[in-house]
Amino acid sequence: MGFRTAKRAVLAMAAALGLAAALPPAAGQSPDYRAPRTADGNPDLNGVWQALNTAHWNVEPHAAGPSVVRELGALGAVPPGLGVVEGGEIPYTPEARATRDENRANRLERDPAIKCYLPGVPRAVYMPFPFQIVQSRDHIMMVHGFAGAVRTVYMTNQTPAPAPTWMGWSNGRWDGETLIVDTTGFNGQTWFDRAGNFHSDALHVVERFTPRSEDTLIYEVTIEDPNVFTRPWTMSMPLYRRVEPDAEILEFRCVEFVEDLIYGHLRRQPDP
């Protein structure tokens, strides 16, 4: 059974069993929820959050697949996913799609995250690691465990990006219940996932964080890059609060795990 056929069968079965009503509404159909407020009157997004999906492996719909390191067997395999891209497919130009396919075929060597480089935006949000939002009136910090990635969202004293960086330069504003973050100034070296989906340094990202309940946010992100895509496109997904009493962000110091991968060729070889 093909992936699309399997997807249709699962949805049909859910409808037949009356399970569809239990599924969360789409991002644009979230309930009319009003979040608690901070001292300055804005929605309180403080907390530790995490995406629970397969976007980290591939943001588009995808079937299960083997690991790029065969020795890992099932533990390294790619889990199947319905995708988070609106419409299902990223609108690449023909040339960019060919590059994506090359990236995918060579992802073990090309994926920047494998080398512990900063994951970029929006990939940092849906990697399989929690991240923390720390909120104040003038700034909102997003702290990620992977590679020590940190974003500062400037809510006041906003300026254009001073220089290209891995995580870009983020300016934010409130629109009712929604935090809108506008990010530019990327260096063009990050990917969206492990499947080779990529962008250039012309990337423009607009994110929307909307409280859906006390412990869920709806995350929507619009991607624009005329060097790579034929039009802007959107992804959406829920983010879940980590509700453990001791939830916190722990460092994932991954550099020490990739030193041999990056610098092994520089190691002095023993004399004959």
Q: If you write DSSP's letter for every residue of the chain in order, what string do you get?
A: --HHHHHHHHHHHHHHTT-GGGSPPPGGG-------B-TTSSB---EEEE--SSTTT-SS-B--B--SSGGGGGGGSBPPB--SBTTSS--B-HHHHHHHHHHHHTHHHH-GGGGT----TTHHHHSSS-EEEEE-SSEEEEEESBTT-EEEEESSS----SS-BSS-EEEEEEETTEEEEEEE-B-S--BSSTT--B--TT-EEEEEEEEEETTEEEEEEEEE-TTTBSS-EEEEEEEEE---TT-----B--HHHHHHHHHGGGSPPPP-
- Give a yes or no: residue 45 inside a domain: yes
pLDDT in tens, 57-114: 999 999 999 988 888 899 889 999 999 999 999 999 999 999 999 999 999 999 999 9
- Give a yes or no: residue 3 inside a domain: no
> Which residues contact residue 68 at a Cβ distance below 8 angstroms, ignoring those fewer than 6 apart?
76, 107, 108
What's the number of domains the chain is made of?
Answer: 1
Domain that holds residue 42: 36-266
Mean pLDDT of the chain: 88
What is the pLDDT at residue 72? 87
Mean pLDDT check: name the lowest of 25-39, 51-65, 88-102, 123-137.
25-39
- Give a yes or no: residue 192 inside a domain: yes
- Give a yes or no: residue 27 inside a domain: no
- Give a yes or no: residue 236 inside a domain: yes
Residue 202: which CATH number? 2.40.128.20
Q: How confident is the model at residue 271 (pLDDT cuts 50, 70, 90)?
A: low
What is the pLDDT at residue 220? 98
What is the rounded average pLDDT of the residues 3-13? Answer: 47
- Give a yes or no: residue 22 inside a domain: no
What is the rounded average pLDDT of the residues 196-223? Answer: 98
What is the pLDDT at residue 68? 86
Residue 7 has pLDDT above 80, yes or no: no
Residue 19 has pLDDT above 80, yes or no: no
- Give a yes or no: residue 76 inside a domain: yes
Q: How confident is the model at residue 266 (pLDDT cuts 50, 70, 90)?
A: low
- Give a yes or no: residue 4 inside a domain: no
